Structure 1
Amino acid sequence: MPTYSTLINRHALEALLREGPAPAVFDCSFDLADPEKGEIAYAQGHLPSAQYLHLGRDLSGPKTGHNGRHPLPDREVLAARLRELGLQRGQQVVVYDAQGGMFAARAWWLLRWLGHSAVAVLDGGLPAWQAAGLALPSTPTPGDFVSAEALVASIDRVALLESVRHQGPWVIVDARAADRFRGENETLDARGGHIPGARNRFFRGNLAEDGLFKPAAVLRDEFKALLGDTDARQSVQQCGSGVTACHNLLALEIAGMRGASLYPGSWSEWSSDPDAPIETAL
Structure 2
Amino acid sequence: MTEPLISAATLVEALEGPQPPRLLDCRARLGEPDAGRRLWIEAHLPGSYHLDLDRDLAAAPGAGGRHPLPAPEAFTAVLQRLGITPDQPVVVYDDMGGQLAAARAWWMLACWAGHPDVRLLDGGVKAWLAAGGALREDGDPDGLPAPSRWRPTYRDAALAGVDEVAATQALTVDARIRERFRGEAEPVDPVAGHIPGAVCRPSADNLDAGGHFKRAEALARELPEADALIAYCGSGVTACHNVLAYAVAGRTLPRLFVGSWSEWITDPARPVATGD
Q: TM-score, normalised by structure 1?
A: 0.91
Aligned residue among 36, 47, 50 for 2:48: 50
* Alignment match of 2:260 (pick from 258, 266, 275): 266
| Cα deviation code 1:173-202 (max 9, x no counterpart) | 000000000112212112000000100000
SS at match of 2:261: helix
Instruction: Work out whether 1:244 is the aligned partner of 2:238.
Output: yes
Structure 1 stretches lacking a partner, 5+ long: none
Alignment correspondent of 2:217: 217
**Counterpart residue identity of residue 181, structure 2:** F
Q: Is the 8 A contact 2:72 2:154 kept in 1?
A: no
| CA deviation after TM superposition for structure 1 residue 20, in Å | 2.6
Aligned pairs, number: 268
Question: Residue 92 of structure 2 aligns to a residue in which SS?
Answer: strand
Note the 1:1-282 alignment, pairs <5 A.
Answer: 4-64=2-62, 66-102=63-99, 103-112=101-110, 113-130=112-129, 131-135=132-136, 136-137=139-140, 138-150=143-155, 153-163=158-168, 168=169, 170-223=170-223, 226-227=224-225, 230-231=226-227, 234-282=228-276
SS of the counterpart of 1:101?
A: coil
1:207-244, Cα deviation, whole Å (9 max, x unpaired): 00011100001100111xx32xx23xx10000000000
Asked whether the 8 Å contact 2:86–2:117 carries over to 1, the reply is no
Aligned to 2:172, the other structure's residue is in SS state strand
Query: 1:151 Cα shift?
Result: 7.4
Shift in Å, 1:145: 2.4
- Contact between 1:181 and 1:200, CA under 8 Å: does it hold in 2? yes
* Alignment check: 8 A CA contact 1:191 1:272 kept: no
Q: Distance in 1 between matches of 2:154 and 2:264?
A: 27
Q: Secondary structure at the match of 2:158?
A: coil
Contact preservation (8 Å) 2:174, 2:181: yes
Percent of residue pairs bearing the same amino acid type: 41
Structure 1 moving runs of 4+ over 6 Å: none
Q: Which amino acid aligns with 1:134?
A: L
Q: Are the equivalent residues in 1 in contact too, given 2:203–2:238 (CA < 8 A)?
A: yes
When the two chains are superposed, the root-mean-square deviation of aligned CA atoms in Å is: 1.4
Distance in 2 (CA, whole Å) between partners of 1:128 and 1:47 is 11
Relative to the length of structure 2, the TM-score reads 0.93
